Amino acid sequence: MTERRLTISTLRQPRTSHLASGSRPDLLVPYLRMRGRWLEELGFARGGRVRVVAERGRLVIEPLEVASDA
C-alpha cells in the first residue's frame, strides 16, 4: 500500500446564471489534484477513466479500464 498526503486546495468557480455575471460572486469549492508517476505505477494510466466512490470522509478511486498511452 502506498500512502500520500495531499492538500485540499480552493478553486474559484464562476456561478452560472441567467443574471448579469457581475451580480453574483464566484463560488469557492474544494479542489484535490493528484499527479505523478506513482499513479501510473499503481495502474492509473494516462487517458484512463476512473470510478470514484464517495462516503463522508473517504474517497475510493479505482481505474475502470486500461488505456493506451496518450
Residue 68 binned pLDDT confidence (cut-offs 50, 70, 90): low
Tens-place pLDDT, residues 13-67? 888 765 655 667 889 999 999 999 999 999 999 999 999 999 999 999 999 976 5
Yes or no: say if 19 and 32 are a contact pair by the CB < 8 Å rule. Answer: no
In terms of residues, how long is the chain? 70
- DSSP class of residue 35? -
**Closest to 35 in 3D by CA, of 68, 64, 9:** 9
**pLDDT at 34 (0 to 100):** 95
Q: What is the largest CA-CA distance in the chain?
A: 49
In this predicted model, which residue has the larger pLDDT, 39 or 2? 39
Half-sphere exposure of 58 (CA within 13 A, CB side): 3
Domain residue spans of the chain: 9-63
